[in-house]
Structure 1
Amino acid sequence: MDLKTEKPLGLVEVLDESLSSDGDIGCEKHPEKTETYVFTEEERLKVETLIRGVDDTVDLVDSDVEYMFERLSTMTMEAAIAILEETIFDHKDDANFPGDVLDRITLLVSGEENCDMDHESYELETRFQATQIKYHSPYPEVRAVCSPTDDVDMPCESLRAYIVGIFWVSCASFINQFFAERQPTITLSATVLQILIYPSGELLCRILPHKTIKIFKWSVNLNTGPWTVKEQMFATIMTNIGAGSSNFFHYGLVMRLPIFFNLEWVGYGFLFLLDVVTQFFGFGLAGMLRRYVIYPKKAMWPTVLPTLQLNKTLLSTERKQIINGWSISKYKFFFLTFAAMFVYFFIPDYLMTSLATFNWITWIAPHNKKLAFITGSKSGLGFNPWTTFDWSVINYTTPLVLPFFVTANRWFGVLIGGFLVLGMYWSNYKFTGYFPPNNSNLYDNTGVKYNLSRIVIDGEFSEEGYKSYSQPYVGAGYLSMLGAYYAMYTCAFVYIFMNEWRTVKDAFKGFIESIKHPRSSAFAQFDDSFSVMMRNYKEVPDWWYLVTLVVAFCIGVAGIVGYPTGCPVWAIVVVILVSVALVIPTNVIFATTGYLIPGDTLAVIIAAYMVPGNAIASVLCRVFGYNTDEQAETFIGDMKLAHYAKMPPRAVFRGQMIATTLQCLITTGALTWLIDNTPDLCTSTQTARLVCTFPNQVYSNTLLLGIVGPRRTYDVLYPILKWAFLMGGLFAVAFWALRKKFTRQLKYIHPVIIFAGINRFGASYNLSYYTPGLYASLIFQYYIRRRYTAWWTKYNYILSSGFTAGVAFSAILIFFALQYHPKTLKWWGNTVSSAGVDGAGTYALYEIPGGRFGPPEGSWS
């Protein structure tokens, strides 16, 4: 059989598969061999070594090991070969599937005569490889953090889980919204909050009485016994959904703050209303996408694995073992790394901030513009071999979580983007040499920041004001960012539908079947171990999510009509339809790489054509174009987390609804407090680094396309941007064709992630935020993962969680104790990084001849 071109027969054709009475995965049955294999003591020892991995790589409890023994004992060679053939076909171009494992199972499938082993060893390894793929997971990262079994009677949606979840949603949602505008952002992630949830749950186990109370027709057990893994995960999912900052508020700041559009009617009520809409619309959309990006086994979701690992660390009994010479427990390791980073972070964040922005090359000649442009960390391109000693900067790309190929592809894209900016700036392409190279500001034809009030009169675009003032110009970094974004959209859409067409087609067929048969379970469409185990629980009907989506949309319409937005409802509908079309390819990419493609820039273009000259309509269309997709992807990630943890879907649905409602109330309050009480908010001089990178970018993009308009931008100012869409689509087709021919050689190259790196300039981010992450990923995700697999499996995610938690809690203490009411520590170590032109961010490579450039005044329209 040609595995490259023909899909092997599915297991249905080879196996007579059945479900046992308890709903677990049934054993394969074959007419010629139905007996169970009995292992000798020597074979049991050998098999357990295989199951647990070399040096106990896979940390399974004894009951899980026994389960895998049972499945292995009933696995026939015929079934094993069929499973392995199907695996080769499904994962031959899967960058997340280990290449050495793929080579090994390809060798096993080719026949015993090609393998240098005896008959018994060949059969044992063949059956073992098939067993762990069929009854656990194809991915070693998933096997390391997930159990292959499930206890359906374990408490999950308990009263105490709700109490803990609601409490930490309330605390963390305020904190995360508070630091959402910091550069780089500091977030209390799920892996951090789990550390707080665990002792809270244990405390309630000790203090709540062991009694049951009746509320109407329901009985509620106040204390069901020991705090369980599923209760911990239930509270974590609530907190993870609820504790995130709302990306809608980036746009809220743009509408409300005086340095932007200064709309006084944008208060708590409007902000809360639009937050509710975007959150719950995204929630409803997430539920409709389950078949595409949650249930397929190739949807690995690397970003959720640290949460699962930490959950296992906190609640599972850990066997005493020595891993590559290390015997420390995971729990103790977490708190040691947490404490070390908590203390250390005071150095780069307060005592010597030049270690955080380590633009040391510019210190040689602080006022040399060319040196600052190329090597600077603040407003330059960041060509610097070592740029920081700050974990919040190193961890900006989550290098200990995302696969190495993702980090490497993105860094390579940033490198390409840096050279593009370098070429445009040095050649003064479209006058870019007259402005700072790497920010999101718009400038007029004298090189100063564009004055919006001169072209907007009484809220409307003024043609006469525009002709008598200036065309808007952008720097080289922002121009490259826009072009890369446009190319990335078409590349993602075309490439994913060509490369993952079978997955998308099967999921769509399943969705149509669910409409025809609303009582059927979507889990029945998938035969991987997790989906089969999830058949024990009642699934959330699609219509629940559909109702949530429709109600959220109606609330949004009411808000848009009830407030003086001037935005037509039909424009919002069009933007939503386009976003829904993009959400499938973007989520497929997110599920396999951990990279989220934002849809806001595309929404601005669409709004600019539909509602020209209306800035607020442009912002609101951008809200629906970005937030609905972004929130959907956040919810989907937590649904995948619940899927891996085998949690009742309806319980998760209720927890997410409650947490999201609470989050909307609290984050709106946090933003309102920031607006009213934070001096210099969203300016480059803000003492706590609340510089609002994204809101500044939104403002510039809205001015450029929402007010000045796409015709003037694309036809007159920057016509090259129109061609970026075509270039992205053509590149996707060309790369797909090359990858079909050179599958193995191009397996780890991802064109969409490369474009995602190219677009990193133009908003004060540059290579200095990506190079340290590349080093960390090279060490942990490539070298240690391959050379010291057991250590990596046990400690890698714990190290990431401990350092991230230490930074978050240290940053909170530093902000409220030392920065909110500034206690300045002024010395060379805190001033050197901002003393030169890189810190000022106002330099340009060329002087403007005669103080003015561009076409003669009044010659543009």
Structure 2
Amino acid sequence: MSAEPKNLSYPNQLGTVSVAEANDSYIEPVSEKSSSEKKNAIFSVVEAYQHDPDTIIERIKSSGDMDDILAEDADFIVDKLYTIDATESLKVLNEAIDYFGSDINFPEQSLEKMRLLVQGEEAYGQGPLFYDLDLRLEASLLKFHSPYPEVRSVCSPIDDPSIPVETLRAYIIGLFWVAVGSFVNQLIGFRQPHFTLSSQVIQLLSVPCGQLAARIIPDVKIFGVRLNPGPWTYKEQVFVTIITNVGAHGAVFIYYAPTMRLKMFYGQEWMGYGFTVVMGLTCEFFGLGLAGVLRRWAVYPAKAVWPTILPTLQLNKTLLLPDAKKRISGWTISKYKFFNIVLAGSFVFFFFPDYLFTALSTFNWPTWIAPNNKKLAFVMGSRIGAGFNPITTFDWSVISYSSPLVLPFFTVINRYVGTLIAGMVMLIMVYTNYKYTGYIPPNTADVYDRFGKTFNVSKVLNKGRFDSDLYKQYSPPYISAGNLMSQAVSYMIYTFGFVYVLLTEWRVFKEAIEGFIKSLKKRETSNFEQFNDPVSVLMKNYPEVPDWWFLIVLGLSFAIACIAVAAFPTTTPVWVVVVVLLVSIALIVPFIVLYSSTGYFLSMNMLGTILGGYLVPGNGLVCIFTRIFGFGVDDQAETFVGDQKLAHYAKLPPRAVFRAQVIAVFVQIFCSAGALEFLVTGLPNFCSYTQESRFVCTFAHSLYSDSLLLGVVGPHRTFDVLYPILKYCFLIGALLAVPCYYAKIYFSKQLRFFHPVLFLGGFLRYGSTYNLSYYTPGLYVSFAFMYYLRERHLAWWAKYNYILSSALTAGVAFSGILIFLALQYKPKKLVWWGNQVSSAGVDGKMVATYLSVPESGYFGLQEGTWS
């Protein structure tokens, strides 16, 4: 046996049992013994103490924050105790403390326990027997399972590679639902508030399809392919989920198209179905290729928890795997039954805030007291103002904006505090009339001219190009306080986030880069070789997707992108595409690391627009294309790499996942482009704020405003003349990151749960139709479930939390789709006070300003000074 900590012995009624004797009695490998023999062997010393072995079993299940989470895996963990000695256990714990010590997601209680264990039995203070047992238990958990309770609740520590995955029936079902999901989600994605045919909903619909296929399809082979390999499996269902997730997310390029095509914006009517398909495929495949490169940073590391995908895994388990009947915190209801009850309740209740009593959705009740009071609306309004309202909605589609049952509580609270302070800053800007924001509604994405009207871009364009003489005669563009603040922080957060995440996660970046270079030199080497966490060890059973496969996808999509912008009248030079894509690739690496651990994703949203304005001044279309190749491909890469992590947790063959994602992209793009054509050609007033069915295209308006400010007018006039503070925000962000990094090092305990990137991210929630009111209810829910219940009733939380999230979301989606198709697509108005009060006053009309335009007829810079 390996050496134990010194001076340990186990006194009992028969004398003193040495450490070596104790170890030999319950640590010796006994894989050939029966379960009862294993139990007797491991607890022979305990029985000498006259302890009840069942008590120790309960200790194993409850130790290390496991509670009943490991009830299904307890036998597995007990078996692993036989394979690890004290010396190895200490090594595992020390490595884990070094690796997870600064990880906010890692349970603080477990971390403290591990630190005591490595200090020795005396520091641990539980007696030599329990010290030895807990030492091996914690090490076994780290080496053979997951240290994160949320991951343990959805991810099995074992795998069976023989389970069918990439079957013909799985492809047929998955591609059918990706087609449906793509069309429906693209259709309703322009609506405000929007809902989606989410991954959870599609899972619910695809499970009975799979089970039906397993019953009715004959078990025969056609061209060597077995049509029915038996019962519908859990892995097939996850495989289908990964296919359908492509459609559930939506094609990013489609959301940009209305801003370019519609007459109310840039009016590029040449952009038809064919161009949409080509650009959609380009963005999707570039994102897929980039996702493959990002695997080392965001899929394989154990720190990459990916909280956003855990509900999907839990729902799949609930629908297809047996649920042990156990009493947890007084609850005995199965996860499946719980899901159905919540789903039904959510489905029925959503009729109230979405149709019958819409004031429950936008519950701006303080403004009802004095509907025409501007100051009240600015402070407490849900639309025009800051949203300082303690009770803002009873609508889950609004509450879920902050993903309160999915994201860690530290993510929600950091962003909420940032949003809270941002609201105060916005109001100060309005009431001090900073940069003429008092003459503009406080929180809007629209751009205004000096006369207080919406900026008319046609008045500064000559044959589609910016004309400085016309601009001098007309007006500079002015933006709201919320928009100005949001843009300033968005510039700051790019450099801040890049520097801060690089500093805090430098070791992860270094190891990933070294592994990537090694894989290119030795293409036969598996990517899993450099990762020793339990999931990666199991994944070594499957052939990995070589990095050069993804590099080929990157190269082809890049070539198609260059051909597309050159062949069509996009007015965008090819070299601009090259520059933006290179910057996008550089930035996404630290940003995807941040997203994989916190659920918050930074992207080249505004930065792409700025680059377009600098590279090709005076052209708003170029700004949109640079934003597409910046934010668009980053967003697609985030989706694909998240699904690869989903497959990693479920132990799916990587090459099967690669094939599935490639095929699903083709289906998605053709269906999504069709949905856009349907809306553009068949829906009256599409994207207008007065559209009867609320297809107002919030993002299209925001994109138009940004492209006007930074594209048509240009960064020079914007940064040097109108808002010079903006250009300094890049430098401020980079400089602030360094002291924040050192503050986290020297005050690690005090600042453990403070994340400055998330805090700054809260400021970005203003500048459009969103404000604090959309996130206050989510804070309440997050505190209750992701903090209180997770800390006090971990077993209940592990079993039901993600199921609750999936059921509420699925109920809203089903109900919303039914309401839309039956009552809203061709509106059947229900006119009464409860459906009118929230939009009746100043807050509802969204046009009031703190100051009125002066008697001179205009505000702002003196005439002739803004060109």
- TM value normalised by structure 2: 0.94
Q: Which residue of 2 aligns with 1:36?
A: 29
1:703 Cα deviation from its structure 2 partner: 0.5
Given candidates 732, 738, 742, the residue that maps to 1:733 is 738
Aligned residues: 827
Deviation string, structure 1 residues 275-310 (Cα, Å, up to 9, x no partner): 000000000000011111110110110011111111
1:149-298 equivalence runs, <5 A: 149-214=158-223, 219-298=224-303
User: Secondary structure at 1:565's aligned position in 2?
Assistant: coil
Q: Confirm or deny that 1:84 pairs with 2:63.
A: no
Q: Which residue of 2 aligns with 1:441?
A: 446
> Could you tell me how far apart the structure 2 residues matched to 1:266 and 1:256 are?
6
> Could you tell me how far apart the structure 2 residues matched to 1:855 and 1:357 are?
37
1:59 Cα deviation from its structure 2 partner: 5.0
Deviation string, structure 1 residues 40-77 (Cα, Å, up to 9, x no partner): 28676456435544898445686x44332221111111
1:241 Cα deviation from its structure 2 partner: 1.7
Q: Which residue of 2 aligns with 1:497?
A: 502
Q: Which residue of 1 aligns with 2:802?
A: 797
User: Secondary structure at 2:451's aligned position in 1?
Assistant: coil
RMSD: 1.7
> Could you tell me how far apart the structure 1 residues matched to 2:76 and 2:474 are?
75
796-805 or 180-189, larger mean C-alpha shift: 180-189
User: Secondary structure at 2:523's aligned position in 1?
Assistant: coil
CA contact under 8 A between 1:155 and 1:231: conserved in structure 2? yes
Q: Which residue of 2 aligns with 1:16?
A: none
Q: Which residue of 2 aligns with 1:374?
A: 379
> Could you tell me how far apart the structure 1 residues matched to 2:735 and 2:575 are?
31
User: Secondary structure at 2:222's aligned position in 1?
Assistant: strand
1:323 Cα deviation from its structure 2 partner: 1.1
Q: Which residue of 2 aligns with 1:772?
A: 777
Residues 56, 509 of structure 1: alpha-carbon distance in 2 compared, 3 angstrom cutoff: closer
CA contact under 8 A between 1:359 and 1:833: conserved in structure 2? yes
Q: Which residue of 1 aligns with 2:20?
A: none
Q: Percent identity?
A: 51
Q: Which residue of 2 aligns with 1:348?
A: 353
1:519-538 equivalence runs, <5 A: 519-538=524-543
What amino acid is the match of 1:426? Y
1:253-652 equivalence runs, <5 A: 253-652=258-657
Residues 31, 558 of structure 1: alpha-carbon distance in 2 compared, 3 angstrom cutoff: farther
User: Secondary structure at 2:225's aligned position in 1?
Assistant: strand
CA contact under 8 A between 1:248 and 1:623: conserved in structure 2? yes
What amino acid is the match of 1:189? S
Q: Which residue of 2 aligns with 1:107?
A: 116
Deviation string, structure 1 residues 756-804 (Cα, Å, up to 9, x no partner): 1111100110000110000000000011111111111110000110010
Q: Confirm or deny that 1:832 pairs with 2:841.
A: no
CA contact under 8 A between 1:378 and 1:841: conserved in structure 2? yes
Residues 48, 206 of structure 1: alpha-carbon distance in 2 compared, 3 angstrom cutoff: farther
> Could you tell me how far apart the structure 2 residues matched to 1:858 and 1:174 are?
49
Residues 194, 58 of structure 1: alpha-carbon distance in 2 compared, 3 angstrom cutoff: farther
Deviation string, structure 1 residues 249-282 (Cα, Å, up to 9, x no partner): 2210100111111111011011111000000000
CA contact under 8 A between 1:57 and 1:144: conserved in structure 2? no
User: Secondary structure at 2:316's aligned position in 1?
Assistant: helix
User: Secondary structure at 1:613's aligned position in 2?
Assistant: coil
- TM value normalised by structure 1: 0.94
Given candidates 691, 708, 717, the residue that maps to 2:713 is 708
244-253 or 715-724, larger mean C-alpha shift: 244-253
Residues 89, 562 of structure 1: alpha-carbon distance in 2 compared, 3 angstrom cutoff: same
Residues 66, 441 of structure 1: alpha-carbon distance in 2 compared, 3 angstrom cutoff: same
CA contact under 8 A between 1:57 and 1:793: conserved in structure 2? no
What amino acid is the match of 1:224? P
Deviation string, structure 1 residues 630-656 (Cα, Å, up to 9, x no partner): 100100000000000010000000111
CA contact under 8 A between 1:469 and 1:857: conserved in structure 2? no
1:365 Cα deviation from its structure 2 partner: 0.5
1:643-682 equivalence runs, <5 A: 643-682=648-687
> Could you tell me how far apart the structure 2 residues matched to 1:127 and 1:252 are?
58
Residues 252, 332 of structure 1: alpha-carbon distance in 2 compared, 3 angstrom cutoff: same
Q: Which residue of 1 aligns with 2:6?
A: none
Given candidates 858, 862, 865, the residue that maps to 1:859 is 865
1:35 Cα deviation from its structure 2 partner: 3.3
> Could you tell me how far apart the structure 2 residues matched to 1:797 and 1:519 are?
39
Q: Which residue of 1 aligns with 2:76?
A: 67
> Could you tell me how far apart the structure 2 residues matched to 1:779 and 1:807 are?
21
CA contact under 8 A between 1:58 and 1:144: conserved in structure 2? no
> Could you tell me how far apart the structure 2 residues matched to 1:839 and 1:201 are?
47
Deviation string, structure 1 residues 797-835 (Cα, Å, up to 9, x no partner): 001100100000100010111111111000000000000
User: Secondary structure at 1:307's aligned position in 2?
Assistant: helix
User: Secondary structure at 2:362's aligned position in 1?
Assistant: coil
Q: Which residue of 1 aligns with 2:134?
A: 125
What amino acid is the match of 2:637? A
Deviation string, structure 1 residues 590-618 (Cα, Å, up to 9, x no partner): 00001111212101111111111122111
CA contact under 8 A between 2:69 and 2:795: conserved in structure 1? no
Residues 167, 81 of structure 1: alpha-carbon distance in 2 compared, 3 angstrom cutoff: same
Given candidates 107, 110, 114, the residue that maps to 1:98 is 107
CA contact under 8 A between 1:414 and 1:767: conserved in structure 2? yes
1:146 Cα deviation from its structure 2 partner: 0.6
What amino acid is the match of 1:329? S
> Could you tell me how far apart the structure 1 residues matched to 2:171 and 2:60 are?
36
> Could you tell me how far apart the structure 2 residues matched to 1:363 and 1:157 are?
57
Q: Which residue of 2 aligns with 1:9?
A: none
Residues 31, 56 of structure 1: alpha-carbon distance in 2 compared, 3 angstrom cutoff: closer
1:184 Cα deviation from its structure 2 partner: 3.0
Deviation string, structure 1 residues 722-746 (Cα, Å, up to 9, x no partner): 1111121122111101111011111
Given candidates 720, 729, 733, the residue that maps to 2:725 is 720
Deviation string, structure 1 residues 476-533 (Cα, Å, up to 9, x no partner): 0000010010111011100011000000000000001111111111100101011111
What amino acid is the match of 1:489? Y
> Could you tell me how far apart the structure 2 residues matched to 1:184 and 1:650 are?
38
150-159 or 554-563, larger mean C-alpha shift: 554-563
- Structure 1's unaligned 5+ residue stretches are 1-29
Q: Which residue of 2 aligns with 1:135?
A: 144
Residues 176, 705 of structure 1: alpha-carbon distance in 2 compared, 3 angstrom cutoff: same
Residues 290, 58 of structure 1: alpha-carbon distance in 2 compared, 3 angstrom cutoff: farther
What amino acid is the match of 1:625? G
Residues 828, 501 of structure 1: alpha-carbon distance in 2 compared, 3 angstrom cutoff: same
Given candidates 818, 824, 840, the residue that maps to 2:823 is 818
